[in-house]
Amino acid sequence: MRAIFLAAIAVTLVVTVGLGAVIFLPIGQKVQPNNLSGDVNRGAYLARASGCIACHTDFAKNGNPLAGGVKFATSFGDLYSPNITTNKEYGIGNWSIENFDMAVRQGISPEGEAYYPAFTYEFYRNFTDQDIADLWAAFQTVAAVSNPSKDHEMPFPFNQRWGLKLWRVAFLTNPKTQSDPNKSEVWNRGRLLAEGATHCAACHTPRNLAGARKTKDRHFNGNESLPGGGKAPAIDINSLKKNNWTIENLAYALETGITPNGDSFGDSMGKHVLYSTSFLTPKDQIAIATYLLEEN
Ligand code: HEC
Ligand code: HEC
């Protein structure tokens, strides 16, 4: 009896200490102070390209820019994008640029908690210090809105943010944005945008049961079950070519939403074009198309 009792205590201890180690495990790297001077226009451009405005503005309800409230129905529960205006109480008006950097490049809150990957920070990990300074400068120009952020509706255990720490260890990867010296400047610019800021893979790469992208062998192979129920077709080079995409008509579609057969993109792609890629310069639209369609 006594042995069983002691064993039970031992197991409880191990589980508690183990769990505690995870719960209190510090994550991320310390952020270096950023004293660069930011360019508001460049920051606003990057915020468009990256979808910050698309995801954090409730266009359907005529919401104020960046005041949040957009619902993301994931298979783990419903998330709402928070208010990230300059409001001190409800937005990020009290944050430092270092808090902002930590959130955007590392997906970690000022309290040291992990964000859900529905916030596409995985794609922003290779943003430069200058990118962060530019974004920050642009965010300072956003009007403060006093809407409280909506609470997420995640059932147990997915409402336990410490679980995301385990997720990060298992699945967090860096985007493949590094330039390739054997490729053209246009191709490399396209890679930086497509693999990074414009996060094409967030919707066009299938995910595993833990909600992580199958980056190794299924990159851009399409996703049959997007949050909210949509489907994104494959956009790997072979699929694109088979469906008559060319650099020209893809760049045109990223600008206008009109596809080669005269249809227009529906669903979340329509929104991605409307609120994000249509704001890119023609040069950047061509760069993304070149990266996706030029033979390696
Ligand atoms: C695909 C949708 C999406 C995109 C794109 C997106 N976000 Fe978010 N963002 C979210 C969601 C959802 C959350 C809530 C995450 C959580 O609670 O764990 C969030 C959280 C945040 C937070 C934390 C706010 C807080 O109160 O703690 C910041 C800051 C933020 N996003 C900034 C940005 C910036 C800057 C960009 C563009 C570079 C961006 N987001 C792009 C969906 C998005
Ligand atoms: C928020 C999710 C989302 C993001 C981000 C996204 N897409 Fe899409 N994409 C979709 C969906 C959904 C469709 C299907 C649209 C339809 O059925 O009309 C689609 C369709 C497409 C198609 C048509 C493919 C075909 O042969 O029918 C192309 C090309 C495409 N996307 C390219 C891109 C590129 C390039 C990016 C990054 C710049 C991107 N997408 C980012 C969701 C997304």
Please tell me the number of the ligand nearest to residue 104's CA. 1
Nearest CA to ligand 1 atom 12: 81
- The string of pLDDT tens digits covering residues 67-94 is 999 999 998 999 999 999 999 999 999 9
Can you give the pLDDT at residue 38?
Answer: 98
Please tell me the number of the ligand nearest to residue 78's CA. 1
The residue whose two tokens read 């590094």 is 178
Q: Which residues contact 104 (CB under 8 A, 6 or more apart)?
A: 121, 124, 127, 132, 135
Could you tell me if the CB of 70 is within 6 A of ligand 2? no
**Tally of CB atoms within 10 A around 25:** 13
Spacing, Cα 27 to ligand 2 middle (Å)? 33
Spacing, Cα 233 to ligand 2 middle (Å)? 7
- The string of pLDDT tens digits covering residues 117-145 is 999 999 999 999 999 999 999 999 999 99
Spacing, Cα 205 to ligand 1 middle (Å)? 20
pLDDT at 295 > cutoff 80: no
- The string of pLDDT tens digits covering residues 217-264 is 999 999 998 988 899 999 999 999 999 999 999 999 999 999 999 999
Nearest CA to ligand 2 atom 11: 232
Nearest CA to ligand 1 atom 37: 52
| CA distance to 34, 116, 131, 149, 202, per residue, from 72 (Å) | 32, 11, 26, 14, 13
- The string of pLDDT tens digits covering residues 90-127 is 999 999 999 999 999 999 999 999 999 999 999 999 99
